């Protein structure tokens, strides 16, 4: 569509000029697309005070000419970077936030350190360790004597005990660095944390769960020169009835088996537990004694598990009698 604008001070065209410049009524004029000026229209458009320059700009942003991409990116005043033409990769340029002539700073690296936990959460998460520390202080109120410890006379040894004597013996023999087999259970998790604080290495497993892995770990511990501590009446009892596992391990590795038992003058018995664990009362006396060692060989592997367990029972009975004798020979203070 053609627009005719008269400038101020110009004279009106004459009739002959008007007829020469105006198209014939019968001829159809092809309308240009909206917002696009034709060459003829741009030549005839003038300026006037009633129609400023802004009114003559195209209404659609698509009609505005775009700058030719020269390979170097720049940013318009609006802060948005100029996108390169289709099919051409964008080249890295300086950030709009950096001053002119200065390289942009790299983004700050995220720290991989975890935020510190509150003290209360750390305390409750490590409550088995705090329990072990408190019980170690409690054991100072209980006099203790031991007899017959094999101070590395035979190299690494296998110590066997009964379930129920752990509260009397384990806090006292952490210096032996005996590897303890602990069951894979929630109670075993707590016990592993406690005995680990007392200085014992831990192998996880039992005769009902992870037995093969635990036996292999114990064999590696003996080969590395570590002692082993086993509760021979099994993880589920019957109480004070030895199983053959410790005897078989000793026959396979050639290491001696030392029975260890405790005698307590006064103790609180947890009668609801299958093991009847005993907690020494304050100022009670605890006597621990090692019995005569067993030295099974490869020939003893021909014995039945019942016969192997019977030999362990006899060794433990002899250690119990020696512990009771040591307690009777320990006169109380006047």
pLDDT at 62 (0 to 100): 47
**Consecutive H or E run containing 280:** strand 278-280
More confident site: 96 or 208: 208
Count of beta carbons in the 10 Å neighbourhood of residue 156: 19
At 19 the pLDDT is 45
Which tokens belong to 62? 């698509």
Q: In this structure, what token pair is assigned to residue 228?
A: 């082993």
Range 93-98 average pLDDT: 50
- Average pLDDT of the chain is 75
Residue 30's pLDDT band, with cuts at 50, 70 and 90, is: very low
Render pLDDT for 137-163 as a digit per residue (tens, 0 to 9): 999 999 999 999 887 677 899 999 999
Check pLDDT > 50 for residue 277: yes
Residue in the block written with tokens 């020979």: 329
CA angle (252, 255, 259) in 5-degree steps: 115
Task: Determine what percent of the chain is predicted with pLDDT higher than 70.
Answer: 59
Per-residue pLDDT band for 37 (boundaries 50, 70, 90) equals very low
Quick one: DSSP state of residue 105? P
Query: Three-state secondary structure along 127-172?
Result: HHHHHHHHHHHHHCCCCEEEECCCCCCCCCCEEEECCCCHHHHHHH
pLDDT digits (tens, 9 = 90+) for 238-265: 889 999 989 999 999 999 999 999 999 9
Q: What are the C-alpha distances in Å from 45 to residues 38, 56, 117, 159, 301?
A: 11, 9, 76, 111, 116
More confident residue, 135 or 26: 135
Domains of the chain: which residue ranges? Answer: 147-328
Per DSSP bridges, beta strands 144-147 and 286-290 are parallel
Sign of CA dihedral 235, 240, 244, 246: positive
Query: Which pLDDT tens digit goes with each residue over 172-219?
Result: 988 888 888 887 777 778 888 888 889 898 888 766 666 777 788 889
């Amino acid at each position: 569509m053609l627009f005719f604008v008269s400038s101020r001070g110009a004279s009106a065209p004459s009739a002959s000029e008007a007829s020469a410049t105006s198209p014939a009524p019968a001829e159809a004029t092809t309308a240009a697309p909206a917002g696009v000026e034709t060459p003829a229209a741009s030549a005839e458009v003038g300026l006037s005070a009633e129609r400023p320059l802004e009114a003559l700009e195209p209404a659609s942003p698509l009609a505005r000419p775009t700058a030719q991409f020269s390979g170097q990116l720049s940013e318009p005043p609006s802060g948005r970077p100029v996108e390169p033409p289709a099919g051409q990769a964008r080249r890295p340029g300086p950030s709009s936030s950096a001053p002119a002539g200065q390289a942009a700073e790299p983004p700050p690296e995220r720290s991989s350190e975890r935020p510190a936990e509150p003290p209360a959460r750390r305390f409750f998460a490590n409550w088995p360790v705090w329990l072990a520390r408190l019980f170690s202080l409690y054991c100072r109120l209980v006099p203790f004597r031991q007899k017959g410890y094999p101070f590395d006379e035979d190299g690494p040894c296998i110590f066997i005990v009964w379930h129920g004597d752990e509260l009397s013996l384990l806090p006292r023999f952490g210096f032996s660095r005996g590897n303890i087999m602990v069951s894979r259970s929630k109670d075993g998790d707590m016990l592993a944390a406690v005995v680990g604080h007392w200085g014992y290495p831990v192998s996880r497993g039992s005769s009902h769960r992870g037995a093969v892995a635990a036996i292999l770990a114990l064999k590696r511990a003996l080969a590395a020169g570590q002692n082993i501590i086993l509760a021979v009446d099994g993880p589920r009892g019957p109480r004070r009835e030895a199983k053959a596992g410790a005897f078989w391990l000793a026959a396979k590795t050639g290491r001696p088996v030392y029975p260890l038992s405790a005698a307590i003058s006064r103790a609180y018995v947890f009668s609801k537990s299958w093991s009847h664990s005993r907690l020494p009362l304050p100022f009670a006396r605890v006597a621990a004694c090692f019995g005569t060692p067993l030295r099974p060989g490869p020939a003893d592997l021909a014995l039945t598990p019942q016969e192997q367990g019977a030999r362990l029972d006899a060794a433990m009975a002899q250690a119990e009698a020696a512990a009771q004798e040591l307690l009777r020979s320990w006169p109380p203070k006047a």
